[in-house]
A and B are shown apart, each in its own frame.
Chain A
Amino acid sequence: MSGVLVVMEQRGGAWNRMSFEAFEAGLALANKLGTDCIAAVVGESVQSMAWDSKSQPNAMYAVENGALKEYTSDAFVEALAQVIKKLQPAYVVFPHTYQVRDFAPALATRFKQVLISDVVAVHEGPVFVRQLLQGKLNADYKHSSQGPCFISVQAGSFRAEQAPASALTMEVFTPELDATKVRNRPGERFRESAQTVDLSSAPVIVSVGRGIGEQENIGVVEELATALGAEIAASRPICDNGWLPMERQVGSSGQTVSPKLYLAVGISGAIQHLVGMKGSKTVIAINKDENAPIFEVADYGVVGDLFEIVPALTKAIQNAKG
């Protein structure tokens, strides 16, 4: 048993880019151990997928079977179990995606192992670092048994550099799968129809407060929201004045949101507003008052004139998105 196997994720022929970050983690681990780093991708017909990350695997496997066209835990676990039995890696690395969370623990159980999930760093040992208690503590985990060590890697912990796509020679492996043994029947993926504004599911929110001054000025923030592909929200006074509909209000008498990014523009941060957005993963605040309470909950803060900063930001985002 040796080597590092990284299981890549794809859907409909497009990579889940977190896979490349997981690959970086796997590669770093392999280099520390002085072994090979192999990659494998699972699907119906994936052998012609191009690799567009700078670091490349020592070998690449296409795990193909008709039963693997749509993701199901039963099929993937069985398929990968066969791959692992064949390749005998010492380490199996996954990106910590929703899909991986669904099947990797079951796969590990097949080998009487426990997945070390959501790893943020790999140290000498190897020691795998995870976060506990909603990020309040870090913990060092070690693998302490025979058999492969399974880990999944947190998004954004390792950086993968994109490179021009290149074709990789993939060895095709066709696992033996009995489609009748697949117990779940997945349906089509869908997005919720936006009948009313549901800020609670928006991943990015740009929120505007009293600092905007006049109703006419809201356009400045709306442009930023459009550039970011974000939903626009507001603190209560803005909605009270009718400048934005009530359903866009965030706060104790409006919606409670927890987006990946909350951009607070001209919002002071009164408690009634804070309780509605304190669950946001990242908060960026722009306010001309350095003592505004919003800065206490912001990860990044800008003290300045929003009428200068927001247009500049909008332009910069438009450029970055190309």
Chain B
Amino acid sequence: MKIVVAIKQVPERDAQIRIAADGKWIDESDLSYTINEPDAYALEEALRLKEKNGAGEVIVVCAGPERVQSTLREALAKGADRAIHIEADDLAALDTLGVAQVLADAIRGESPDLILTGLQSDDLGLGQTGVVLAELLGIPHATIIMQVEVAGAGLKVKRELEDGWFQHVEMPLPALLTIQSGGNKLRYATLMGIKKAKTKELKTVPAAASSSTPTITLERVYLPEKQKKTEMLTGSPDEVAAKIVDKLKFEVRVI
């Protein structure tokens, strides 16, 4: 089975975020980048499927400037067979549709049986690129997937729903799945993996020129007014209890 994993390189979660001078994005100097966490789980799922079925190929694809090659190499070190770097220096100018089109153009030629990607990205978190990509390629999709099993000529996947519910879905191949974090245990990059990765293919292709203008634009970014601070609740036990219940009802929404 040929599996393509579409990954994104995002700023590290721990990174100190500073807003760029023009207020439209963050200051990218001094930032460290890493693989988007849900995409790491997607990669893990792809590797497991390949290991379980004994054969197949896992190809990682990432669009972005040259720095994304390090993330692609890490994916190769974890066990992917090939990598495709879609060279695009100005991805931020594209909207989700534009990005999905860039990916679709690069992936179409590979004719994969299965495409996996994380359910959303750690930076923008729109959570749509996978679904849009499936729509553009004309293949069925399912989202927020915890487990994947090959069932005959198709797949049986376990989809996560709200409140601890799950659902199995049967789908034909080829298909696209967006993978939820935590479905599998991630593997760590090993020395052996890194050494092997040096001999694996990393192909660079230019991003296909975009024909359309973005339909949504990010106008500006700013710090949210409310920073996370511990709100101390005071009063008599009954008063405090009432305050907590209020929070549970309206803020946390568990009642």
A contacts B directly in the complex (CB < 8 Å)?
yes
Query: Given A141, A191, A321, which contacts B165 in the complex, CB threshold below 8 Å?
Result: A191
A33 to B69, CA, bound (A): 46
Q: Does B74 contact A (CB under 8 A)?
A: no
- Choose, from A48-56, A114-122, A238-246, the stretch at the interface: A114-122
A298 to B242, CA, bound (A): 18
Let me know if B223 and A298 touch, CB within 8 A. no
Let me know if B230 and A187 touch, CB within 8 A. no
- CB contacts under 8 Å to B, within A64-111, are 73-74, 97-98, 101-103, 105-106, 108-110
Query: Given B97, B217, B223, which contacts A138 in the complex, CB threshold below 8 Å?
Result: B223
- Choose, from A36-44, A166-174, A207-215, A301-309, the stretch at the interface: A301-309
- Choose, from B46-54, B109-117, B245-253, the stretch at the interface: B245-253
Closest to A151 in B: B216
Q: Does B190 contact A (CB under 8 A)?
A: no
Known: A74-B140, A301-B233. A190 touches B165 (CB 8 A): yes
Query: Given A101, A131, A316, which contacts B224 in the complex, CB threshold below 8 Å?
Result: A131
Let me know if B219 and A98 touch, CB within 8 A. no
Q: Does B56 contact A (CB under 8 A)?
A: no
**In the complex, what's the smallest C-beta–C-beta distance from A101 to chain B, in angstroms?**
6
Task: Tally inter-chain residue pairs, CB-CB below 8 A.
Answer: 244
Q: Does B131 contact A (CB under 8 A)?
A: yes
A186 to B244, CA, bound (A): 39
Known: A134-B13, A139-B220, A300-B247. A102 touches B143 (CB 8 A): yes
Let me know if A138 and B161 touch, CB within 8 A. no
Let me know if A155 and B219 touch, CB within 8 A. no
**In the complex, what's the smallest C-beta–C-beta distance from A114 to chain B, in angstroms?**
5
Q: Does B57 contact A (CB under 8 A)?
A: no
**In the complex, what's the smallest C-beta–C-beta distance from B144 to chain A, in angstroms?**
6
Let me know if A313 and B244 touch, CB within 8 A. yes
Query: Given A201, A261, A309, which contacts B248 in the complex, CB threshold below 8 Å?
Result: A261
Q: Does A204 contact B (CB under 8 A)?
A: yes
**In the complex, what's the smallest C-beta–C-beta distance from A293 to chain B, in angstroms?**
12
Query: Given A118, A133, A155, A299, which contacts B123 in the complex, CB threshold below 8 Å?
Result: A133
**A interface footprint on B111-127 (CB within 8 Å = 1, 0 otherwise):** 00000000100111111
**A interface footprint on B207-247 (CB within 8 Å = 1, 0 otherwise):** 00000111111111111100010111110011011101101
Q: Does B93 contact A (CB under 8 A)?
A: no
Q: Does A260 contact B (CB under 8 A)?
A: yes
Q: Assign chain A's interface to a size class.
A: 35 or more
A-side contacts of B238, CB under 8 Å = 312, 316
Q: Does B22 contact A (CB under 8 A)?
A: no
**In the complex, what's the smallest C-beta–C-beta distance from A233 to chain B, in angstroms?**
15
Q: Assign chain B's interface to a size class.
A: 35 or more
Query: Given B135, B161, B253, which contacts A98 in the complex, CB threshold below 8 Å?
Result: B161
Let me know if A112 and B212 touch, CB within 8 A. yes
B-side contacts of A97, CB under 8 Å = 162
B-side contacts of A98, CB under 8 Å = 143-144, 160-162
**A interface footprint on B138-159 (CB within 8 Å = 1, 0 otherwise):** 0011111000000000000000
Q: Does A113 contact B (CB under 8 A)?
A: yes
Q: Does B92 contact A (CB under 8 A)?
A: no
- Choose, from B83-91, B168-176, B198-206, the stretch at the interface: B168-176
Let me know if A141 and B217 touch, CB within 8 A. yes
Q: Does A184 contact B (CB under 8 A)?
A: yes
Let me know if B128 and A117 touch, CB within 8 A. yes
Query: Given B124, B132, B214, B244, which contacts A144 in the complex, CB threshold below 8 Å?
Result: B214
* Additional pairs, 16, CB under 8 Å, beyond known A101-B128, A133-B26, A144-B216: A105-B135, A112-B97, A114-B96, A114-B97, A114-B215, A118-B126, A118-B127, A130-B125, A132-B124, A133-B11, A139-B221, A145-B213, A187-B170, A192-B164, A202-B164, A302-B240
A-B contact pairs, 5 of them (CB 8 A): A105-B96, A187-B169, A190-B165, A228-B248, A321-B255
